[in-house]
Amino acid sequence: MSHPSDQPTPAPTAADAAPGPRLASAPDRELRARRTAELFQDAWGYAPDGVWSAPGRVNLIGEHVDYQDGLCLPMALEHRTYVAAARTPTDRVRLRSAQAEGVVELSAKDLEPGTVAGWPAYVAGVLWALRGHLSGGEPWGLDLVVDGQVPLGAGLSSSAALECAVAAALEDLFTLGTEPVERIRAAIRAENDFVGAATGGLDQSAAVLGRRGHALLLDCRDFSVEPVPWDLAAQGLALLITDTRAEHSLVGGEYAERRRQSEQAAEALGVGTLRDVDPAGLPGALEAIADETVRRRARHIITEIERVRRVGALLEAGSVRGQLDQIAALMDASHDSLRDDYEVTVPALDSAVDAARAAGAHGARMTGGGFGGSTIALVEHDRAEAVAEEIARAAETRGLPAPHFFLALPGDGAGRDL
Ligand code: ADP
Ligand code: MG
């Protein structure tokens, strides 16, 4: 077995080609799927049985609430991860990725957590999690080529895109008969238990259930999803994603600490999860929490769930354009709460958000877990370039890494392309 690098190189984007801010938008889906089929042909010398893909995602609001049964509002991106695959009469799985070196060969019979390292674990984990659905103990004989356009490690969930594209391919190739929610749960198990990276399920739900022109009101209590209209393009608006490219620091330990503090808060308040606290009773209810830091952590989660509820209700009731000020204020309040109460922002995130607001964005916030990663800003479509320029200038002035930019339109969930 060869040993591919653990750190695949990101796919080159338009942003790499020239200096200054460039707004990378997603290349044409059919073209990209055909290209992935060609990569398969080059790699294995025959044509694939098909090509499947699944999108990255960005969370519009509802951060650090999934582990307290909260609500969040992700949308799937048009940027997708493509998987060309063919079934083979063996028990071998052969893998390649356009974003990683080398060829990987695995024995499909012996997949157990801890046996596969690096990026192939995201694929092997899905095989492992779905193997109970194989009829009659058939082997997973499979050749596979991955080509991703979701930037890796930017907080846009390239990991769930990869898992969910693989799950879609397996469903069709092996006629597994799984429901979408079973594929979501398998992808979550793959990442939590096989790869060993903590994930709450938001990413996989968006990657499977995304819908063009919509955001998804996701209830993390049962992973039920309600699509709400988020058709920015039709209203002359755009969502500017800024990948700050800031070094992720202390992520594991800080994430675990926040989760622990949120559990302490729920215990002090005598509730199962903070979802059960009525925001109308704040701030008085929080006085039951003795520790000042834990009290602020709880205030973030309880008020953030309420902000998601409000944005969801606004989007159900009318257009984004018609309610811009209210949506913007809720996005801004979300960021400020994550900065001041939850303390998961870093200078690069605050800088991008401050610069976007100063440049006239209708609301801006960090998105994802924090400590690096990406921000979003709701902007007039014809102002996107100018806002990006201001964000880039602010980063340069502060000696921060040069950000990468994307224009995000809500795309479809996992599916078959060819
Ligand atoms: P994010 O999901 O925010 O992009 P993660 O650290 O959760 O960041 O997942 C990134 C990892 O997923 C990569 O380091 C790699 O192991 C794997 N991965 C995602 N997309 C690809 C791809 N196209 N090719 C190879 N590995 C990939
Ligand atoms: Mg991820």
Q: What does the pLDDT read at residue 386? A: 97
Could you give all domains of the chain from N- to C-terminal order, each with its CATH number? 1-418 (3.30.230.10)
Q: Which two three-digit tokens encode residue 75?
A: 């949308």
Q: In whole angstroms, how far apart are CA 172 and each of 40, 47, 91, 288, 301?
A: 18, 17, 18, 53, 39
Q: What does the pLDDT read at residue 7? A: 41
- Ligand nearest the Cα of residue 145 is 1
The pLDDT profile of the chain, 418 residues, written as one tens digit per residue, is: 333 334 444 444 433 333 345 566 666 899 999 999 999 999 999 999 999 999 999 999 999 999 999 999 999 999 999 999 999 999 999 999 999 999 999 998 889 999 999 999 999 999 999 999 988 767 789 999 999 999 898 889 999 999 999 999 999 999 999 999 999 999 999 999 999 988 888 999 999 999 999 999 999 998 899 999 999 989 999 999 999 998 776 567 898 899 999 999 999 999 999 999 999 999 999 999 999 999 999 999 999 999 999 999 999 999 999 999 999 999 999 999 999 999 999 999 999 999 999 999 999 999 998 999 999 999 999 999 999 999 999 999 999 999 999 998 899 999 999 9
Q: What does the pLDDT read at residue 158? A: 95
- Measured distance CA(98)–CA(76) in Å, rounded: 22
Q: What does the pLDDT read at residue 198? A: 82
Q: What does the pLDDT read at residue 22? A: 59
Spot the catalytic one: 69, 203, 341, 350.
203
Q: What does the pLDDT read at residue 16? A: 39
List pLDDT tens digits, range 255-280.
889 999 999 999 999 999 999 999 99
Residues 203, 24, 410, 61, Cα dihedral to 10°:
60
Q: How many CA atoms lie within 13 A of 38 on its CB side?
A: 6
Q: Which residues of 22-48 are buried (b: 16+ CB within 10 A; e: fewer)?
A: bbbebeebeebbbbbbebbeebbeeeb
Atom 14 in ligand 1: residue holding the nearest Cα: 7
C-alpha of residue 330 to centroid of ligand 2, in Å: 25
C-alpha of residue 154 to centroid of ligand 2, in Å: 9
Q: Please, which residues have CB less than 5 A from ligand 2, an ion?
A: 157, 159
Model-level pTM? 0.90
Q: What does the pLDDT read at residue 18? A: 36
C-alpha of residue 68 to centroid of ligand 2, in Å: 19
Q: What does the pLDDT read at residue 8? A: 44
Measured from the CB, is residue 100 less than 6 Å from ligand 1? yes
